[in-house]
Structure 1
Amino acid sequence: MARRVSMADVAEAAGVSGQTVSRVVNDSPRVDPATRARVEAAMARLGYRPHRAARALRTGRTQTVGLVASTLATVGNSRMLQAVADAAAARGYALVVVTLGAADPDIASAFERLHDQGVDGAIVLNEATDLVRDAATPADFALVVVDSAADDRFGVVVTDHVGGAHAATAHLLGLGHATVHHVAGPEGSFAAAERERGWREALAAAGAEASAPLRGDWSAASGHAAGLALPADATAVFAANDQMALGLLRALADEGRAAPSVSVVGFDDVADAADYRPPLTTVRQDFDRLGERAIELLIGRIDGARDDAAYEAVGAQLVVRESTARPAK
């Protein structure tokens, strides 16, 4: 078995002291940039990896963060998991994932379990964020939530759901549709409520009538059911996510009015959205940016910077494809 590369090996290769290598490993500001670059180059060349357990004994931190979600079955949550995992790895942090269920029936027990495992802090995703407000958290446990109203107790990173939904609705109105129907996400979802708000605000700004939303549960099946319940005179629909838009597209095709004879816009820009039939106009969430900012904000709070950038909104971009068109005359 090959011998593990030590700090002494790195120090010799970089021509510095062991203490300097230790400072670089522990991200100390007391190292000039040129020396830091030389040490990091030696680490990469030798394949040096800091010993996590030893580091935890020195610093009181495990370099491990948690992620809590109600489910990982939704596309948005699974993409956020990947983005957070990538961002954590890039910063040298390990990730522990907890989904609420039999082992952790409530979010407070999930926090306690993560805390007992020595996790330094956690990110809470989407639907689970609504549970944080009434939950007890360990006093020394840093917390960041994705998609929530601002709260002094934890950091918040959100997509600009309102702006994205407004842009989607305004796009359809700009094509000449008299109004836009909405397939909304589930009750109690922050993202669903914000996207519905953006839809309503765009309609109000244009003086267009808002009908009662058809409500789904983020699944394609619920989008299909909503499509079957869509009024016969509907010419444009904004669906609160791409999966529901997919089901909606099938329902419209089954009824002989396939998009873009009825224009459809989704939200998320999932990997397959460009390959829907027709390719889906949608609002792109920047999941990579959300994951990066959530990790950066969490590490800042772990390090004690609790007042630094406590809230950040990440922009969402309208992507126009073939599922939208001017209404038929």
Structure 2
Amino acid sequence: MTGEDSAGRRRRGPSMADVARMAGVSGQTVSRVANGRNNVDAATRDRVRAAMSQLGYRPNSAARALRNGEYRSIGVIVFELHSFGTTRTLDAIATAATISGYAINLVPVLDVSQSAVTNAFTRLGEQAVDGVIILIEAHTLDEAGVRLPDGLPVVVVDSSAHYDFPIVDTDQRQGARLATEHLLNLGHATVWHLGGPPTSFAADRRRQSWEQTLIDHGREVPPVYDGDWTAGSGYEAGRQLAAKAEVTAVFVANDQMALGLLRALHERGRAVPGEVSIVGFDDMEEAAHFWPPLTTIRQNFVDVGRLSVDALIQEIQAGEHHHEPVAVAAKLVHRSSTAPPPPSASGG
């Protein structure tokens, strides 16, 4: 029983032996029921469960995990917890893990270094997890000289990763190509690009795909304007883009920077989409309520999270190892921020 005795000391909870005495069975039988074994007849099982309920007995999940060799727990190591993509992916991972019967242990790292990542793995090892999902761009790990420790199943959510672990991510190249071709198909002579930070692999992959798409279509490749994923940086770069009369179409590497660009264009008196068309990337919830509503590339974070958890559980339970990266397709969401260019600005 729990609570306090007359001296104010906390009493221990009911034990397996207490349950056995009340149910009139052996401790081994109680253990079998607690562990979900089938070699106990129904009447005895019901009697044991009734005793557990009456006493308030809860099986020791940690001890059971040691016996069964599985903790039903997944660790997630994450950097830049505040970013839109990270929070959405983490939410999807948590949902998929819960559906699969796994708990989540989250360990944010404040900086990406060998010691920080090693300490995160150590903490997760102490918390008894079955495997780990890493939500850190792989190039950041590489630049910091981080080597991932052996001993636990691992899945990396980043298509730039070259580790010997399962890799899951949105198909960044395909998404950028969809955005660029959408604008070209509307009749724009070329597409300008407001990119993410050069240090980001996702931004670099989108930038490369935008450039290659223009080359494939025989179009001029304009200079890139870089932001840092924030609406403020999109506004600052957008002021420069808005001042260029030749700019009629812009592919923006994320929706938040697209919001800043919209403000800059409005202040300059350039109509969207009448004079300038804009495509974003992410399809954050607010994108449908920008003015005008933003055409954008939707990342399927639900699938990224689900497939990451599925891959990790396969590693944990069956020892299956997937060397080929899993690329989740992106989708163009057509709203009101894109249209054909003004007649004088169209090109073939």
Answering whether residue 246 of structure 2 is matched by residue 233 of structure 1, we say: yes
Q: How far 1:62 moved relative to its partner?
A: 1.9
State how far apart, in whole Å, the 2-side matches of 1:76 and 1:152 are.
21
Rate the CA distance shift 1:51–1:183 in 2: closer, same or farther, 3 A.
farther
Paired position in structure 2 for 1:116: 126
Query: Secondary structure at 1:227's aligned position in 2?
Result: helix
- Report SS of the residue matched to 2:281: coil
Change (3 A) 1:196 1:18: same
**8 Å contact 1:126–1:191 — kept in the other structure?**
no
Instruction: Give the TM-score of the pair, scaled to structure 2.
Output: 0.78
Distance 1:150 1:72 in 2: 19
Distance (Å, rounded) in 1 between the aligned partners of 2:151 and 2:131: 8
Query: Aligned with 1:119: secondary structure?
Result: coil
Report the TM-score, using the length of structure 1 for normalisation: 0.82
Q: What's the Cα RMSD here?
A: 3.4
CA deviations 1:100-139 (Å, max 9, x no partner) are 2179863232222222322222111243663168423332
Unaligned runs of 5+ in 1: 9-16, 25-29, 32-41
Report the equivalent of 1:88.
97
Q: Do the aligned partners of residues 167 and 219 (structure 1) sit closer, same or farther apart at CA in structure 2, a change above 3 Å counting? A: same
Q: Which has the larger Rg?
A: 2
Q: CA separation of 1:258/1:178 partners in 2, compared to 1, >3 Å: closer, same or farther?
A: same
Quick one: percent identity of the two aligned structures? 45
Quick check: 1:64–1:95 contact (8 Å CA) kept in 2? yes
1:162 to 155, 170, 173: 173
Partner of 2:69: 60
**Runs of 5+ in structure 2 lacking a partner?**
3-12, 21-29, 40-48, 344-348
Return the match for 1:252 from 265, 289, 292: 265
Partner of 2:109: 100
Matched length: 307
Q: Which AA in structure 2 matches 1:125?
A: L
Q: 1:236 to 1:79 in 2, by over 3 A?
A: same
Deviates more, 1:206-215 or 1:62-71: 62-71
Pick one of 206, 210, 215 that aligns with 1:199.
Answer: 210
Q: 1:28-51: per-residue Cα shift (whole Å, max 9, x none)?
A: xx99xxxxxxxxxx9xxx9xx975
For the 8 Å contact 2:272–2:338, the answer to whether it is kept is: yes
Q: Is the 8 A contact 1:112 1:138 kept in 2?
A: no
Q: Which residue is equivalent to 2:321?
A: 307
Whether contact under 8 Å (1:246, 1:276) holds in the other structure is yes
1:288 aligns with 2:302: yes
Q: Distance in 2 between matches of 1:153 and 1:23?
A: 36
SS in 2 for 1:302: helix
Q: Residues 165 and 247 of structure 1: is their aligned pair in 2 closer, same or farther, counting only changes over 3 Å?
A: same
What secondary structure does 1:266 align onto? strand
**Hey, what does 1:79 align to over in structure 2?**
88
Question: How much does 1:290 deviate?
Answer: 0.3
CA deviation digits over 1:230-276, x for unaligned, max 9?
13320000001111111111111111113112100001111111111
Q: 1:323 to 1:124 in 2, by over 3 A?
A: same
Q: How far apart, in 2, do the equivalents of 1:203 and 1:145 lie?
A: 31
Please tell me whether the aligned partners of residues 194 and 227 of structure 2 are also in contact (alpha carbons under 8 angstroms): yes
CA shift for structure 1 position 328: 1.0
The alpha-carbon deviation at position 148 of structure 1 amounts to 2.8
Shift of residue 71 of structure 1? Answer: 1.1
Work out the CA distance in 1 between the residues paired with 2:322 and 2:32.
30
Shift of 1:205: 1.4
Change (3 A) 1:20 1:207: farther
Contact residue 70 and residue 128 of structure 1 kept, 8 A: no
Question: Is the Cα–Cα contact under 8 Å of residues 295 and 334 in structure 2 kept in the other structure?
Answer: yes
CA displacement at 1:307 relative to structure 2 = 2.4
Go from structure 1 to structure 2 and tell me whether the alpha carbon gap of 1:60 and 1:305 turns closer, same or farther (over 3 Å shift). closer
Deviation at 1:20, TM superposition (A): 9.0
